[in-house]
């Protein structure tokens, strides 16, 4: 079972709102990721958590704030976003066991900032 679950599937928020995207996996994976994907573009890495610690931050603006409460959960807190932040946000996980780091993706959360 290779399942990464993301909620909500769709989110519309104003530029002054605070919202969160949630991600969950129960595969025992120890690395979790947030990617951002604009239309007709490849996914771009935002954050990587390895063993619940932030290991990669790809110079993402502070209006995006990741959180990893435990090894199964990953959140992305959103505040004061801009319309250009509208995109598909993909969560992913991998075993982090030097097995080639196969990354498994969720279905994504479609974010629209108005």
Partner 1 sequence: AQSVTQLDSQVPVFEEAPVELRCNYSSSVSVYLFWYVQYPNQGLQLLLKYLSGSTLVKGINGFEAEFNKSQTSFHLRKPSVHISDTAEYFCAVTDNNNDMRFGAGTRLTVKP
Distance CA 109, CA 114 (A): 16
Is the CB of 13 or the CB of 104 nearer to partner 1? 104
Is the CB of 67 or the CB of 79 nearer to partner 1? 67
Binding site for partner 1 (CB under 8 A): 2, 4, 31, 33, 40-43, 45, 48, 50, 55-56, 90, 92, 94, 96, 98-108
SS3 5: strand
Smallest gap from residue 114 Cβ to partner 1 (A): 20
Distance CA 29, CA 105 (A): 12
């Amino acid at each position: 079972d290779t399942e990464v679950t993301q909620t909500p599937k769709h989110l519309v928020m104003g530029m002054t709102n605070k919202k969160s995207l949630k991600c969950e996996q129960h595969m025992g994976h120890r690395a979790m990721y947030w990617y951002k994907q604009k239309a007709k573009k490849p996914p771009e890495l935002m954050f990587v958590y390895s063993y619940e610690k932030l290991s990669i931050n790809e110079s993402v603006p502070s209006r995006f704030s990741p959180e990893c409460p435990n090894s199964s959960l990953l959140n992305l807190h959103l505040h004061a976003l801009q319309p250009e932040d509208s995109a598909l946000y993909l969560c992913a996980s991998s075993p982090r066991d030097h097995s080639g780091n196969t990354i498994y993706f969720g279905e994504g959360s479609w974010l629209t900032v108005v």
